[in-house]
Amino acid sequence: MKKRLPPLNWLRTFEVSARHLNFTQAAAELNMTQAAISQQIKGLESQLGVTLFKRLPRGLELTEAGLAYLPVVHESIKRLAVATDELFGRGRDRSLTVRTNLVFFTNWLAPRIGRFREQFPSVGLRFTSNIWAEESEKDADLDIRYGKGSWRGFRADRLSWDELIPVCSPSIGDTLPSSPEDLINYTLLHVIGYEEGWGYWLSQTGYPHIDSDQSIQLDTLITGLEMAVQGYGIALGRTSLVAELIESGRLIAPLEERIPASEAFYLVSPDKQYEHPHAGIFRDWILEEAEHSRHIDSM
């Protein structure tokens, strides 16, 4: 027979007492008497059938059972507090935070975000860059990542179906490359961090021997595309990201060879976490935009 769930106030008292390892300090935080704290802990230990604290002359120490129980209790209280705030507190008015790949935001999302604002003017938005992933990961409600779409514990909705195409400025030189063989005479702009870069494209098109001595390495695709726009070399573009640049004439695609990309941009969110009330609205909208863009690109 399953044990009856302990009262929430007992669990809260345990979590605070375990954090301070002092009943007096726990009593001050919870605005209770030390006697009430002690009584609730004894009640919790009695119901669970274990001792959670070792009472020492100068404070407390968690037992093995207490150490094992604390992370579960702490996480449960935290999630309950977040959900309560989102549904009934100030969280309802908190802006939806989307952590996004910078080149995707600049070249794909930003030109479309006006349509979202027109349709959902009451939804507050906050965008952060995922260049510094560790710093902003905990604050994001949704995440736009580039990869193969498999992240354990996360839901991933695909946003792009790209082909890899060389792109450059129309004014890169007196002549433009007419074959991948000609690339040996040009500066290739390599973006580190992408599995499907120049080496992959050249191998797939049958020119693995091409190795430009004039290559430049960059750490982001957005800088690679800007270098291409400025005429400093040839970048390997993703069709979803260079469509507007090609349409405006800032870039051209001089070669016919195109290779389907297995990597893509995805809208990512944790599987088992309470969602921001507006996350579903943004997800439905961006997936509709992505499908529309895919249809236009395939025509």
Strands 259-260 and 163-167: antiparallel
User: What pTM, to 2 d.p., does this model score?
Assistant: 0.68
Average pLDDT, the chain: 88
More confident residue, 267 or 5: 267
Per-residue pLDDT reduced to its tens digit, 89-117: 555 557 899 999 899 999 999 999 999 99
Write out the DSSP string of 55-80: EETTEEEE-HHHHHHHHHHHHHHHHH
**Given a cut of 50, is residue 72 above it in pLDDT?**
yes
* The pLDDT value given to residue 135: 44
**Given a cut of 80, is residue 84 above it in pLDDT?**
no
Which two structure tokens, joined as six digits, stand for 92? 């309802």
With contact defined as beta carbons under 8 Å apart, do 123 and 96 qualify?
yes
* The pLDDT value given to residue 5: 85
Q: Rounded to the nearest 5 degrees, what angle is found at the Cα of 81, between the Cα atoms of 79 and 87?
A: 100
With contact defined as beta carbons under 8 Å apart, do 218 and 190 qualify?
yes
What does each C-alpha distance from 229 to 201, 234, 242, 252, 253 come to in angstroms? Answer: 20, 9, 11, 9, 12
More confident residue, 2 or 168: 168
**Given a cut of 70, is residue 216 above it in pLDDT?**
yes
Residues 149-171 have a mean pLDDT of 94
Cα end-to-end span (Å), the chain: 62
Give phi and psi for 98, each to the nearest 5. Answer: -115, 115
Provide the pLDDT confidence category of residue 2 given band limits of 50, 70 and 90: low
Write out the DSSP string of the chain: -PPPPPPHHHHHHHHHHHHHT-HHHHHHHHT--HHHHHHHHHHHHHHHTS--EEEETTEEEE-HHHHHHHHHHHHHHHHHHHHHHHHHSGGGGSPEEEEE-HHHIIIIITTTHHHHHHH-TT--EEEEEGGGHHHHGGG-SEEEEEESS--TTEEEEE----EEEEEB-TTSSSS---SGGGGGGS-EEEETT-SSSHHHHHHHTT-TT---TT-EEES-HHHHHHHHHTTS-EEEEEHHHHHHHHHTTS-B------EE-S-EEEEEEETTSPPPTTHHHHHHHHHHHHHHHHHHHH-
**Domains of the chain as residue ranges with CATH:** 8-91 (1.10.10.10), 94-145+273-298 (3.40.190), 163-260 (3.40.190.10)
* The pLDDT value given to residue 140: 85
